[in-house]
Amino acid sequence: MFLKKQMHELNRHKPEDAITTHKNPIIIILDDIRSMHNVGSAFRTADAFAIHSIYLCGFTPQPPHREIHKTALGATETVNWQHFEQTKDAIIAAKEQGYKILAVEQTHGSTPLESLNWQGEAIALIFGNEVSGVSEEALKEVEKAIEIPQWGSKHSLNVSVTIGVVLWEIMRSK
């Protein structure tokens, strides 16, 4: 029989300490995400993996908002975030901070996710719009595209699921 761990056994940071604790040098760039639930989920996942920041771009919804909070469950207070009018501006900001820019997109010449060998270097991961994916403008700025292999009949995953899969694989390979 399995017993659930109690909150004190999970060794979690207190929310008030989360901003100043060690963060993995990863920025999530959300390129025109439509759904507030997907944005909230991105925050919650970023918190779980101790990601440095989220850059919300274009018309991507921003906190505070009840619909974001519904899925973020307070992670908008524990994850650094910033809004950029244009995704290109977010990419420039990340590059100026020394981040290597990667798109998570199905492209010719993309690298299968499981082949990405992250060694802890600073990376910014661009996740695209729920319908059109990473914008062509953003793809012109990336150093590499990574792709999640899929075997079913659908050609994509929900962006919030994609963020979780990508971050898990990257952290697992560390």
Q: Is the pLDDT of residue 19 over 70?
A: no
More confident residue, 10 or 78: 78
Percent of the chain with pLDDT over 70: 99
Tokens for 172?
């697992």
pLDDT tens digits for 70-93? 999 999 999 999 999 999 999 999
Q: What is the pLDDT of residue 21?
A: 84
Report the candidate in 78, 94, 83, 110 with the shortest Cα–Cα distance to residue 25: 94
- DSSP-assigned beta bridge partners for residue 146: 104, 111
Q: What is the pLDDT of residue 15?
A: 72
pLDDT tens digits for 124-163? 999 999 999 999 999 999 999 999 999 999 989 999 999 9
Helices (H), the chain: 15-18, 36-48, 66-72, 87-96, 136-139, 159-172
Q: Which domains can be identified in the chain, with CATH numbers? A: 22-172 (3.40.1280.10)
Contacts with 95 (C-beta within 8 Å, 6 or more apart), sequence order: 101
Q: Is the pLDDT of residue 38 over 90?
A: yes
CA distances from residue 98 to 79, 92, 94, 157 in whole angstroms, order as listed? 20, 10, 7, 29
Q: How confident is the model at residue 8 (pLDDT cuts 50, 70, 90)?
A: confident
Tokens for 59?
């018309």
Q: Is 98 helix (H, G, I), strand (E, B) or coil?
A: coil
